[in-house]
């Protein structure tokens, strides 16, 4: 085998041509031009502004600003998400709240400044993608550029002499390059080949996916709806705005957009770890429901789990929480049942220690026939352990005990001031007293009854049902957003890991009649893969066109290349142009 070494880069001379088309268009990224002041006038300034807006530098800056702008939306309570927290924040921060109002920090995602960044980023991406796509399509329709005059100027280079004819070498090189999935063709006395177009495809796909994500996010925010509903076992829900416990929607959402369906909670099932270090940890949360779609839809059964929502049209029903609802029966002074219902209580800890209020608003009268309202504070321990009166020791209903604390008077529900159904306003009520004159309290187990003093009636704990909280979400564009995110990930991976490179193989007869083979490679970025790949191709081609024996009278071509002694190994030339 004849000997070859990589050509060192010759010193730069003013009279030497550069790589020309061979080194151009390895990327569709816009060229950064020196800043020039635009011509005076509206058109000149508009062109200058458009060039700045569609530059990659400005697009990255806008993307960074969008990310930074989303931070206060995560840290500061948002009016569209939780009005109660916003109100609490205003009370606690009387100085900061007016500043936040002026800056729109309580509604970041609908603020003017966030919308401006969002729209500018969208325009910037569109203005960047269209010319790059057009340029890339032109590259696909064309052919790889011909070989430069001096291949020794390229970063990876090798050469050898062979007895094979130039036509044979070029044909073998063309076949081998096409076999390696290069786009190759004959260009004069050389074969020009190029590979790695998927890099630009991935780059463009990433930017297009960002646009899809922006559109999906904006569309979803404008037309979304989200509401919560607490449903006790045996009760139902119909998807109308009045049925929700809380409901919020996008600016362009209308009530008519709600998907028509209804469901009934048949049974909630929760299981927990019974022993070990994870004792009390939930193992299974699921709600068995009967649902129907439309006014005349057939009843269907399904299970809604924590990570398994029920999809009905464009709506998804999520299971978000659960708790207990003691069944309470209240009788007045004459023994008449004035209240019988399951009362949902709110969990306080992981063992579902729960609290709430039973409010009897109408129909109650004491032993003297005086009409009043009853408010009974309730405290439930699902698993009561003697000696531990303040918290449940296990989340399941193993030994439930309900502590009741009754009051009578005016609960203030007719004052016009809204109040929570889980809290008791004691401003105009009095507590029932026991025989010692202290506030009446009683611990009841299922089936037990607490007698109110002076024949004022009774309260019975009939048992315990479970409740589940459902979140019903309609947000169009989520599938498009997911698809855009996946395309963006794969597109970015392709643009980072796929190398676009070019290879040229020149075969010409030397002055002594022996064929001189030159091979060179050029990549878009500095990468060891180019010389390695060129070395593999040179080795294969060398086997088909082996080196010719050295002759003492062989002409010296050092005027065109610094060192063209054959060697099958190819390494990057130091200082070579990229």
277 lies in the same domain as 232: yes
- Average pLDDT score over residue span 426-446: 91
**Structural domain contains residue 486:** no
- Average pLDDT score over residue span 541-559: 68
Burial class (CB in 10 A: 0-12, 13-18, 19+), 538: buried
**Structural domain contains residue 371:** yes
38 lies in the same domain as 120: yes
Contact 117, 65 (CB under 8 A): yes
**Structural domain contains residue 13:** no
Q: Give the pLDDT confidence score for residue 60 in this predicted structure.
A: 83
172 lies in the same domain as 281: no
248 lies in the same domain as 307: yes
Task: Find tokens 């325009």 and name the residue.
Answer: 123
- Average pLDDT score over residue span 471-477: 92
What's phi and psi for 35, nearest 5 deg? -65, 130
Q: Which of 275, 278, 288, 357 is nearest to 322 (CA)?
A: 288
115 lies in the same domain as 188: no
308 lies in the same domain as 369: yes
Confidence of residue 570 (pLDDT cuts 50, 70, 90): low
86 lies in the same domain as 158: no
Ordered DSSP codes for 441-493:
-EEE-TT-EEEEGGGTEEEEEEEEEEEEEEEEEE-TTHHHHHHHHHHHHHHHH
Q: How many domains does the chain have?
A: 3
Task: Identify the CATH number of the domain in which residue 186 sits.
Answer: 3.30.310.80
pTM flag (> 0.85)? no
- Average pLDDT score over residue span 8-14: 40
**Structural domain contains residue 487:** no
Residue 469 CB partners (closer than 8 Å, separation 6+): 228, 229, 230, 231, 319, 320, 321, 322, 323
Q: How far apart are CA 166 and CA 172, in angstroms?
A: 10
470 lies in the same domain as 569: no
250 lies in the same domain as 183: no
**Structural domain contains residue 176:** yes
Confidence of residue 15 (pLDDT cuts 50, 70, 90): very low
Kind of pairing, strands 261-272 and 300-305?
A: unpaired
- Residues of the domain holding 176: 151-196+499-577
**Structural domain contains residue 205:** no
410 lies in the same domain as 466: yes
77 lies in the same domain as 41: yes
State the number of CA atoms in the 13 A half-sphere of 501 facing the CB.
25
Q: How far apart are CA 248 and CA 487, in angstroms?
A: 31
506 lies in the same domain as 554: yes
Q: For 40-54, 59-73, 184-198, which range has the lowest pLDDT when averaged over its residues?
A: 40-54
**Structural domain contains residue 22:** no
- Judged against a pLDDT cut of 80, whether residue 424 lies above it is answered with yes
Q: How far apart are CA 379 and CA 356, in angstroms?
A: 7
**Structural domain contains residue 20:** no
464 against 220, higher pLDDT: 464
Confidence of residue 52 (pLDDT cuts 50, 70, 90): confident
Residue 232 CB partners (closer than 8 Å, separation 6+): 265, 325, 342, 344, 465, 466, 467
């Amino acid at each position: 085998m004849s000997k070859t070494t990589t050509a060192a880069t010759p010193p730069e001379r003013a009279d030497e041509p550069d790589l020309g088309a061979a080194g151009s268009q390895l990327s569709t990224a816009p060229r950064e031009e020196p800043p020039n002041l635009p011509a005076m006038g509206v058109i000149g300034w508009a062109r200058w502004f458009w060039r700045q807006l569609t530059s990659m530098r400005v697009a990255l800056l806008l993307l960074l600003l969008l990310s930074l702008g989303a931070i206060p939306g995560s840290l500061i309570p948002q009016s569209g998400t939780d009005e109660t927290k916003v109100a609490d924040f205003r009370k606690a921060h009387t100085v900061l709240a007016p500043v936040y109002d002026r800056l729109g920090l309580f509604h970041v995602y609908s603020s003017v400044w966030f919308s401006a960044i969002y729209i500018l980023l969208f325009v910037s991406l569109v203005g960047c993608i269209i010319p790059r796509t057009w340029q890339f399509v032109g590259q696909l329709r064309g052919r790889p550029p011909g070989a430069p005059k001096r291949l020794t100027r390229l970063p990876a280079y090798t050469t050898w002499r062979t007895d094979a004819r130039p036509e044979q070498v070029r044909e073998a090189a063309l076949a081998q390059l096409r076999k390696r999935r290069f786009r190759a063709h004959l260009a004069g006395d050389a074969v020009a080949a190029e590979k790695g177009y998927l890099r630009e495809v991935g780059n463009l796909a990433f930017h297009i996916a960002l646009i899809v994500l922006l559109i999906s996010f904006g569309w979803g925010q404008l037309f979304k709806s989200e509401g919560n509903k607490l449903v006790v076992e045996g009760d139902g829900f119909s998807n109308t705005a009045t049925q929700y416990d809380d409901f919020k929607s996008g600016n362009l959402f209308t009530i008519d957009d709600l998907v028509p369906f209804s469901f009934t909670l048949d049974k909630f099932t929760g299981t927990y770890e019974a022993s070990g270090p994870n004792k009390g940890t939930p193992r299974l949360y699921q709600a068995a429901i009967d649902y129907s779609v439309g006014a005349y839809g057939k009843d269907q059964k399904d299970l809604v789990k924590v990570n398994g929502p029920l999809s009905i049209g464009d709506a998804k029903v999520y299971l978000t929480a659960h708790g207990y609802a003691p069944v309470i029966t209240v009788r007045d002074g004459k023994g008449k049942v004035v209240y019988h219902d399951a009362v949902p209580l709110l969990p306080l800890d992981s063992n579902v220690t729960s609290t709430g209020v039973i409010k009897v608003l109408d129909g109650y009268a004491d032993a003297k026939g005086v009409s009043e309202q009853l408010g009974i504070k309730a405290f439930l321990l699902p698993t009561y352990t003697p000696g531990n009166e303040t918290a449940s020791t296990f989340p399941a209903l193993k030994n439930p005990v309900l502590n009741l604390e009754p009051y009578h008077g005016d609960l203030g529900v007719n004052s016009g001031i809204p109040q929570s159904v889980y809290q008791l306003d004691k401003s105009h009520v009095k507590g029932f007293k026991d025989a010692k004159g202290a506030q009446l309290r009683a611990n009841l187990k299922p089936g037990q009854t607490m007698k109110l003093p002076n024949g004022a009636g009774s309260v019975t704990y009939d048992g315990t049902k479970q409740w589940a909280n459902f979140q019903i979400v309609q947000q169009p564009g989520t599938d498009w957003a997911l698809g855009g995110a996946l395309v963006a990930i794969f597109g970015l991976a392709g643009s980072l890991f796929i190398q676009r490179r070019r290879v040229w193989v020149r075969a010409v007869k030397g002055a002594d009649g022996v064929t001189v083979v030159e091979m060179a490679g050029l990549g878009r970025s500095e990468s060891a893969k180019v010389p390695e790949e060129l070395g593999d191709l040179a080795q294969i081609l060398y086997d088909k066109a082996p080196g010719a024996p050295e002759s003492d009278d062989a002409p010296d071509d050092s005027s065109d290349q610094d060192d063209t002694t054959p060697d099958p190994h190819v390494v990057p030339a130091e200082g070579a142009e990229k």
